[in-house]
Amino acid sequence: MKQQILDWIEEDRGLIVGFLRDFVRAKSPNPPGDTRAAMEHIRDFLDAREVAYDLVVRDETMPNLMASRSFQEGGKHLVLNGHIDVFPAEEDGSWIHPPWEGRIVDDVIHGRGIADMKVGTTASIMTFLYLSRLSKMLHGRLTLTVVSDEETFGPNGSRHLFENCPERVTGTACLNGEPSSAQTVRFGEKGTVWLRFEMTTAGGHGAYPHLGENAIDRAFALIQELREFTHRDVEESEAIAALLGKSGEMYDIAYGEGAAEVARSITMNVGTMQAGPKVNMVASRCTFEVDFRLPVGMACASLLEWIDSLSAMHAFSYVTLLVNESNWISPDNELTAAVKRNARSVTGIEPADVIGLGNTDARLWRYRRVPAVVYGPTPRGMGGNDEQVPIEEALNVVRVHALSAFDYLSNKGA
């Protein structure tokens, strides 16, 4: 049966590539977050194959799709999860290949969202279709979730599903195709805290700086103080230390030199800043936003408490924009084993167990102690210009997902 799945994928090579190209062309940048064109593309594909599904919607511009198949008796419930919103793209000529055309050059598909995560979402869709053909061979239940509003961790996507139909979406394991590369499989993610700071002063005329303090200067002083938190010692559990200690070389191959160290460190990025109305005025207001990433095991509350303690030295106000606690589930589980085994068979590479540097919807399953495994393409150009995925790598993600889902559900389990 596994060879049959591989044969189907090979027969559908042109179909899958065509689906991916049109998926990229269905613009879905978030912000603003309108994914209706991308969802229509998916619905047309499923409708043509008479696949039953329903839409679960909080915001009509950000629809979510769910489809389920029940097989023979069994206690397992595998959830396939992918999102259809993508990062915005600058359409200013800075891309070698335009971001919304899905061009193929030298057997590589180019375009915004191809890596994050339209290849992974396509793998989920194709896996659901292929396994639906094998119902007599499988046990338990398979659910496809195609969601919106992931890029901003908003309330309209997977969070909405958990709030409104948790019994349909929780499952016993989750397979997600966010970018990981052939070298790694993610079993957890760092924590994230997004903050917006504001400094205010009386301001004044730029020729009279002695009469008024500049809010920008105060902001930079605070930024330097905030960076001190990144130098704190990180206390790792023995289990995490052992797992990450084995993955360093593969980590750096997948995500660039230094990635293994970053995974175990506190990082800080100042992402935005707005200040001052005019060059010859002393700025009376400065706002900036900061993205902190915390290693597994470090609670977000420890950062917020420390920031509160700075108020004695710096006059500022701040708003917490986002808090995602770090999360992990031991990779010693059946689905992870299946993904690693099939990845080795398909690509010749057994992926190392790693902590994700960024956040994904997989965290929502781990928060509920459900194993969530992330395996997808290499994040080439993700969030930047010239995002791309080689065709063969995209097909390998489909292969690994379909074979691993088959292995998981062909074993009856509890």
Quickly state the pLDDT bin for 283 (edges 50, 70, 90). Answer: very high
Secondary element (H or E) of residue 80:
strand 72-83
Q: Position of tokens 């002393």?
A: 282
Domains defined along the chain, listed by start: 2-189+326-410 (3.40.630.10), 191-324 (3.30.70.360)
Q: How confident is the model at residue 170 (pLDDT cuts 50, 70, 90)?
A: very high
pLDDT > 90 in the chain, percent: 90
Whether 355 contacts 362, CB under 8 Å: no
pLDDT at 414 over 60: no
Residue 40: band (very low, low, confident or very high) from pLDDT cuts 50, 70, 90: very high
pLDDT at residue number 90: 85
Q: In a 3-state reduction of DSSP, which class is residue 139?
A: strand
Q: Taking a C-beta distance cutoff of 8 angstroms, is the pair 86, 147 a contact?
A: no
Confidence category of residue 311, pLDDT binned at 50, 70, 90: confident
Write the pLDDT tens digit of every residue in 207-254: 999 988 999 999 999 999 999 999 999 888 888 888 888 888 898 998
What per-residue confidence (pLDDT) applies to 412? 73
pLDDT at 330 over 80: yes
pTM, full prediction: 0.94
pLDDT at position 413, please?
67
Would strands 317-324 and 191-200 be described as parallel, antiparallel, or unpaired? antiparallel
What confidence score (pLDDT) does residue 313 get? 86
